[in-house]
């Protein structure tokens, strides 16, 4: 997200969190969507860079952030389902 301002990053974070929430069938609030979206943005950017996938601008950042947020929610869901024994 190097080409996006801080306001743009917040908007992308909220949108990415909301997209992930819809895809994964969860219900979160605005703040949780923002946190999931921002953490997902870092996760998505890390994976994209490791795979050599280039992205830029608002739409590229939104796509990468949403994919990262979906992956984050999937990982959290897998961790939370394990029984404590």
Domain range holding 54? 6-81
Decide which of 47 and 80 is more confident: 47
Q: Is the pLDDT of residue 69 over 90?
A: yes
In the 3-class helix/strand/coil scheme, how is 8-75 assigned residue by residue? HHHHHHHHHHHHHHHHHCCCCCHHHHHHHHHHHHHHHHHHHHHHCCCCCHHHHHHHHHHHHHHHHHHH
pLDDT in tens, 4-56: 677 887 888 889 999 999 999 888 888 888 889 889 988 998 999 999 998 88
Q: What is the DSSP letter of 83?
A: P
The answer to whether residue 40 is domain-embedded is yes
pLDDT at position 77, please? 86
Phi-psi region for residue 19, left (φ > 0), alpha (ψ -120 to 50) or beta? alpha
Does residue 59 have a pLDDT over 70? yes
Number of domains in the chain: 1
Would you say residue 62 lies in a domain? yes
The reply to whether 1 falls in a domain is no
């Amino acid at each position: 997200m190097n080409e996006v301002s801080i306001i743009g990053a917040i908007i992308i974070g909220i949108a990415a969190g909301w997209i992930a929430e819809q895809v994964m069938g969860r219900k979160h609030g605005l703040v949780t969507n923002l946190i999931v979206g921002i953490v997902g943005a870092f996760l998505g950017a890390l994976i994209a860079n490791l795979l050599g996938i280039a992205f830029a601008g608002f739409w590229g950042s939104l796509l990468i952030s949403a994919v990262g947020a979906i992956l984050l929610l999937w990982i959290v869901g897998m961790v939370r389902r394990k029984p404590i024994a």
